[in-house]
Structure formats: structure tokens, C-alpha cells
Structure 1
């Protein structure tokens, strides 16, 4: 069955169990462990007194250290496993916490439910847990837009990309990817502190997500309510997004649902004038979030089916 079969196991276990709160309370989560390592390197190596070229070099070195440790750990564990179906099962179980299949669905559903009930305050609180924009400035359309964008982007970053790299290389692939993605989320943004130090982390993340983002977009196209609109919006608008990768699944979802996404938003009191995806379409509503979750579930089932084909051929 190989590593494709192992990723099927990881997806199945996560769909059934998620990452239980009692387990998180006791041992945390692999991403939080990576976060502690990255935070320690950031504190020690990212010195404001250093000139930008030195901070860029330090950031690149720090990113490579974190990735190398993750890949090496994955290789050591994987090389110690017995071969055959036992290896497939064990790699799948060990990869399980690195596939955020259920948690992504549950976090977005937690926004959709109160929004459908007209409880804007509860929906704002729920959406603040998954996006960085100011929730107080969001009306129904803004809440729905933020949640759908998060669902589309994180379907790529949280499921398709780790499964893609895990199917190729097993534990070293999926652990290496999670290191890259966590580095980007922690230091790969354009803040004063991290613009120089995090440039390498952001660039490596762009490369690692290039194929998975486009695969995710095409999965959404195949399973969206309006397939032709999803395809035309994705091929037309994906490159308008500020991210070279996130625009693909987001634009596919926008066209597939017949709504507009992205656009102006407020982060930490500052407005950003992002371009619209599917400009001219209507604003999303709570019902569109339910439809987006349906597309997401179908896309993840199709992804599992693709892995099954690879595993058994």
C-alpha cells in the first residue's frame, strides 16, 4: 500500500477522532512542539540590532534547522518500523495529528451554526478563532466570507499539502511540510520584526504549497455546485490574490458558490485593500457556508479515493 495507504489511514483516523481535547491537555500537539522550537530560535537569532542582511541569513538558517530536525526525526522513526502493512498502519497513525481534517470542518461549522441562527456575536467570537481580521468590524457577509476563505485556504495547507508530501515521502515528508507551514505561520509574515527574518520561511512555504494549492482548487472545481464558474473564476482570479497559492482554492470556491471573496478587510485596526475574487458576484451568507462545507467534505472524500487508487495499484 505504501505511503499513499498510510495517508488514507491518517485521514480516516482524524475524520473519526480529530485531536481529542484530553490528549491535547496532556501532551499538546506536534505543531505546538514545533512552535516552541521556532519561538526559541526567533528569540535567540532574530535580533533587532542586526542589519537586515544578517537577519535574513539568520532566518534562513533557522528555517533550515527546524526543517532538518523534523525531516530527520521522521526518517529515524520511519526507518525503525517493520515493513509491509504494519509500516503503512503505523505511519498513518503517526501522521494522524498532522492532518487537520476534522478540526477545520468543526471550526468552520462552529461559525456557520450561530450565523444561521442570527447570533452575530457568537459567530464573530467563533470566526475570531480561525482568522486574524478584526471580528468587531464584520457583518454577516464579512463573517461568512472570512470563514469560507479560511476553509478553502486551510483545506490546502491543513490537509491536501501534508497528505501530498506524506504520500510522496512518508513521515519525513509530512513532518517536513508541517515544519515549513508552521514556520510560515509564525515568522513568515511582513511585520517589522519578521520581514527580514521570515523571508526564507515564506519563500519555502510558497514552493511547498505550489502543487497542493492547485490540486485543492481543482478538487473544488470538480465538486462545486457551479463547476464551469468555479473553473473560470479560478483560472481568471487566482493570480489576483496576495498569496501565490491561496488564491487557487479560494477563487475556485468563490466561483463554485457564486459569491465574492477576499476584498478589503481590517487587521489590527488597519485596513487593507485586497482585490475581490469573483468580483461582481453577491456577498456570501450563512447558507453558503453550509454549501462550502459540503464541497469540502466531498473534496476530502475524493482525495481519499485518489489515495486509495494509488495505494492499490
Structure 2
């Protein structure tokens, strides 16, 4: 497999080192590769923007396609060196994962709420999600944090690992590029309703497998798998997002809390269906429980990704062997 690290041991070592680097170093305040990609995408947007889906599709193709192409060329360049291959996989994994920063931001807001400092909590909430915090009370902020932890466990960790398992470094980079574009232009504001359509739809597609795996792992990692499974099956489709729905419903069932309801986002007020309606409202202490569940899910996802990479590599070897056998029989 030429798109990335074909050696399962190499991917396992690189992904584990990158995961560990995220745990230790998290995201730097300056010089992060994802931030550099965001600046490049903004520069492309300034040249291509028009209130038109076609222009938005071109923007998505240039930015996401360019990132994947660059990652593919780099992966091929180092493919023959096992150590360099591992180093590249580790660097890419660290760059695309955001689980530690997610937990730190959530805990910072939870600490402000626990101290009774609602204004600080409101100030920090935009670092975690796009909600309008001005009119939110402590309980609504806590709910927003738990929902964001759930959704971003998929977006910032599991989804990237899934695509890394499937396509190596280009998969890791491509997933983060698409997810970043969706965060930048994929929302339904007047400016991006048409221009951001392609990025939003592509993000739905590439996020599909990671969201389902995140939901499944949240069910397994929670204290009551049967309860979490019941809520996920019943409530996932009620959410307007095809990928956030399964994840938030699984987290609601795993934590035994009520998610969803009214929220203000991007200048709009949405009245979303309630997930886990039979449970109690989210409390401040549930933020820490959500962060811990997210961490368990992330660790399990790393193991699944390593096993998945081994399966993909084995399937490729079997396919090449069978193709070679067929060629040999034809020649004979």
C-alpha cells in the first residue's frame, strides 16, 4: 500500500508516539500545523469566494486535495526508511489529534463553573464550541461543554485515527483538513450557506465511520453499556447532524444525563430534540465525567486503529498475492 505507512508495526509505533505526544504536549499556542493550514485555506478563500456552491467545491478540492497530495508525496519519500516512516506517522498523529486540548478546555470551564465564576466560563466557552454564551446560565454552559466533548472526541481523535488506519499519513492529514474546513466555512451563515456546502457535506462523509466507532466505544467504556446502547439506538436519529447524533446520544446514555434542547449557534436559535429525556439535566460535575469517558474512548480507538491498520495491510498483501498468482497462471 503506497499511500502511507504500510507496515502495521510502524504505524502502531508512530500512532502511539503521536498519541503520547498529544498527551504530554497538547496543542502549542503558536506554530501548530493545523493553524498554518487554516491560514492557507483563508488565503485561498479570499481568492475564490463567491456565493456559489461550485466555488465552494473548488475551495474544498484545492485545500483538502492539496493537503492529501502533499502528505502522500511526503509519505512516499520516507517509505523506505522504517525510522523516518515512524517519525512521520508520529508527527502527523500529534498534529491532527486534539484530545488533550479538548479535555483541558472543558476542565477549565468546569473549574470556573465550580468556583461560581459564570463570566469566566462564558468567556472560555467559545474556545470549545461555537455557541453564543452570553445568555447561557451555568447548567446550559455545562450541557454545551459535555455535548462538545462528545462530538469533538469523534472529530478531534477517533475520526483521525480511523482514517490513519485506512490510509496512513494521508488519511490522518486529509481527515483533519476536511474537518478544519468544515469548522471554517461549513456553518449556515449567510456568507457560507452556499460556499461552505461542499465542505460540510464532505465532512459528513469522512466523519461517518469515526462517529459510529466513537458511539460504540462510548457504550463499551461507560458504566452501563446496556443503558447507553438503548439511548443511542433510540435517540441518535433525532439529532439534526448525522454524525453528532450517534455520539451525543451514546454519551447521554453512558453518563446518564439529558443532552440536546434549545441552543444559540452562529446567530441562530435552534430547538433540538432532547437525547436521554428520562435522565437528569447536566451538572457541572458531569464535565469531568465526560472528559474521563472521552479519554477512555480515545485510548480504545488507538487500539482499534492499530488493529485496523494490520487488517488493511494484510488485505493488501493477500490481494497482491492473489493478483500475482492469477498473472502467473495466465502466463503458464
Instruction: Give the TM-score taking structure 1 as reference length.
Output: 0.90
Stretch of structure 1 that moved more, 149-158 or 290-299: 290-299
5+ residue gaps, structure 1: 49-54
Would the aligned equivalents of 2:16 and 2:90 in 1 still touch at CA under 8 Å? Answer: yes
By how many angstroms is 1:114 displaced? Answer: 1.9
Stretch of structure 1 that moved more, 36-45 or 197-206: 36-45
Match of 2:282 in 1: 284
Match of 1:34 in 2: 37
Rounded Cα–Cα distance in structure 2 between residues aligned with 1:306 and 1:202: 26
Rounded Cα–Cα distance in structure 1 between residues aligned with 2:82 and 2:202: 33
Rounded Cα–Cα distance in structure 1 between residues aligned with 2:105 and 2:243: 22
CA deviation vs aligned residue, 1:123-169 (integer Å, no higher than 9, x gap):
22222321222212111210110000110000000111111111221
Rounded Cα–Cα distance in structure 2 between residues aligned with 1:128 and 1:312: 39
2:147 counterpart (127, 144, 149): 149
RMSD of aligned Cα (Å) = 1.9
Bigger Rg, which one = 2
1:70 counterpart (53, 67, 74): 67
SS at match of 2:241: coil
Stretch of structure 1 that moved more, 251-260 or 87-96: 87-96
Say if 1:212 and 1:310 are closer, same or farther in 2 by CA, change over 3 A: closer
Rounded Cα–Cα distance in structure 2 between residues aligned with 1:8 and 1:112: 29
Matched ranges for 1:45-56 at <5 A: 45-48=48-51, 55-56=52-53
Match of 2:196 in 1: 198
5+ residue gaps, structure 2: 1-8, 312-332
Rounded Cα–Cα distance in structure 1 between residues aligned with 2:200 and 2:308: 31
Say if 1:307 and 1:196 are closer, same or farther in 2 by CA, change over 3 A: closer
Stretch of structure 1 that moved more, 32-41 or 233-242: 32-41
Would the aligned equivalents of 1:5 and 1:307 in 2 still touch at CA under 8 Å? Answer: no
Rounded Cα–Cα distance in structure 1 between residues aligned with 2:309 and 2:73: 23
Match of 2:210 in 1: 212
By how many angstroms is 1:86 displaced? Answer: 4.0
Moved over 6 A (4+): none
